[in-house]
Chains A and B, each alone.
Chain A
Amino acid sequence: DTAVSQTPKYLVTQMGNDKSIKCEQNLGHDTMYWYKQDSKKFLKIMFSYNNKELIINETVPNRFSPKSPDKAHLNLHINSLELGDSAVYFCASSHAGTGNTEAFFGQGTRLTVV
Chain B
Amino acid sequence: QQQVKQSPQSLIVQKGGIPIINCAYENTAFDYFPWYQQFPGKGPALLIAIRPDVSEKKEGRFTISFNKSAKQFSLHIMDSQPGDSATYFCAATPNTGGFKTIFGAGTRLFVKA
Contact = CB atoms under 8 A, between A and B. Distances in A.
Interface in B14-70: 31-32, 34, 36, 38, 41-46, 49
A43 interface: yes
Interface residues of B, number: 27
Contacts of B95: 98
Interface in B94-113: 95-103, 105-106, 108
B43 A101 contact: no
Interface residues of A, number: 26
A43 B89 contact: yes
A1 interface: no
B100 A55 contact: yes
Given A101-B93, A102-B49, A43 B99 contact: no
B98 A92 contact: no
Interface stretch (A13-21, A69-77, A105-113): A105-113
B98 A97 contact: yes
B85 interface: no
Given A105-B44, A108-B42, A41 B87 contact: yes
Contact of A98 (B42, B46, B96): B96
Interface of B: 31-32, 34, 36, 38, 41-46, 49, 87, 89, 93, 95-103, 105-106, 108
Interface of A: 4, 31, 35, 41-43, 45, 48, 50, 53, 55, 90, 92, 94-98, 101-108
